[in-house]
Amino acid sequence: MRPETRAIHTGQSVDPNTGAIVSPIHLSSTFERDLDGAYSKGHLYSRYTNPNRKSLEDCLADLEGGVAAAAFSSGSAAMMTLLQTLLPGDHVIAPDILYFGIMELMKKVFVPMGIRFDFIDMRSLDQVEQYISSETKLIIVETPSNPQLTVTDIKAVVEIAHAHDIQVAVDNTIATPILQQPLALGADYVLHATTKYIAGHSDVLGGAIVTQVEDERWERLVYIQKMGGAVPSPFECWLTLRGIQTMSYRVRAMTDHAKQIVSFLQGHPQVESVLYPGIPESVGYEVASRQMSDYGILMSFLVRGDAQQAIDVTNRLGLITRATSFGGTHSLIEHRYSVEAEGTKTPQNLLRLSIGLEHVDDLIEDLSQALG
Ligand code: PLP
């Protein structure tokens, strides 16, 4: 079955008790034991498993082509749990351009715990090879990356990593499982902030990790998920799964809008450049064309001028909202330099633009009047 169909049916079935087409929300935190003490219906306590979480995890695993998924209360909690599978002395290679909150988590939480990180330009495969040591246990890839939309060659990084017995985790949040399938390219784990395109309506936080095989690290990760409990509530799982049902259609429509907006911005005299993997002249275009089925929705652009001139553009917008995040039905814009940590590589005149599901002509009109 195609992804559109699996998104509606995997992990979801007619409720046997009531005939309800849409799954009920199981708020119960605990479940009845059988007479012999077993839990034959599969659930014991909601920190361990919950019917709504199980549905979500099954659907996500299927959509990413993995064997299992673990859902978390946010994308950051998903990454935190993956990093918690490491031990003091372990080394991780991560991109120098990745979601700044995750970079902060690595630097401020995991470095003091004895994990070592190198943040490198992952477009250079030579650099990947060069930074590998006998302590390297994990390579994190984020492609396209937030907020500069740089593209990493997943297959090539996996080949290098696996030759050294190192695992690769790909943050697929920006591409979505509809446009990019990292496990099929050999990655060991796929990570998502389901907060974004997967849930898709800016109304629920969530994260997930999908695995290629249920290996030792996966067992440890699921153990930490259960014992630590950074899990989404049943309602959050239900909302996320509802969002998944329309994901393919949202992603395709939004990608179409994004391309039209990229063309508009490229032709505008107040725009210095546009960062988007689908621009043929861009560095990442060739790799993106190979590993993505389309170029996605998120983009950034550099306004001609300084930070204040970029902020002024956001202040003149009427329809596109000044807010962080991306992936929902509302179009959002953000001056990333203002919100990222000191030492960020984000240019001061960069605006990240998240295209929603408004009519594309209305969005272009709004950008046109704001850019002047
Ligand atoms: N990964 C990427 C690429 C992101 O952009 C974000 C958040 O913006 C996250 C992970 C973290 O997700 P969350 O905000 O749900 O913790």
Give distance in angstroms: CA of 365 to centre of ligand 1: 29
- 180-197 average pLDDT score: 98
pLDDT digit string, tens, across residues 231-278: 999 999 999 999 999 999 999 999 999 999 999 999 999 999 999 999
User: What are the structure tokens assigned to 324, written together?
Assistant: 């962080």
| Residue owning the nearest CA to atom 5 of ligand 1 | 99
- 209-227 average pLDDT score: 98
CB 174 near ligand 1, within 6 Å: yes
| Residue owning the nearest CA to atom 2 of ligand 1 | 99
Structural domains in the chain plus CATH codes: 3-242 (3.40.640.10), 248-371 (3.90.1150.10)
Query: pLDDT averaged over the chain?
Result: 97
Give distance in angstroms: CA of 197 to centre of ligand 1: 11
Give distance in angstroms: CA of 99 to centre of ligand 1: 6
Place of tokens 């690290």: 217
CB 99 near ligand 1, within 6 Å: yes
Q: What is the pTM of this model?
A: 0.98
pLDDT above 90 (res 343): no
- 212-225 average pLDDT score: 98
Share of the chain above pLDDT 70, in %: 100
pLDDT above 90 (res 164): yes
Q: Which residues are catalytic?
A: 47, 99, 171, 196
Q: Does residue 353 contact residue 260 with C-beta atoms inside 8 Å?
A: no
> Residue 132 — very low, low, confident or very high, per pLDDT cuts 50/70/90?
very high
Q: Residue 172: which residues within 8 A CB-CB, separation 6 or more?
A: 64, 180, 182, 190, 191, 192
> Before 51, cis peptide (omega within 30)?
no
Q: Does residue 151 contact residue 175 with C-beta atoms inside 8 Å?
A: no
CB 232 near ligand 1, within 6 Å: no
Instruction: Kindly list the distances between the CA atom of residue 209 and the CA atoms of 9, 64, 109, 198, 213, in Å, as whole numbers in the listed order.
Output: 20, 10, 20, 13, 12
- 335-354 average pLDDT score: 94
Q: CA nearest 94: which of 84, 105, 248?
A: 105
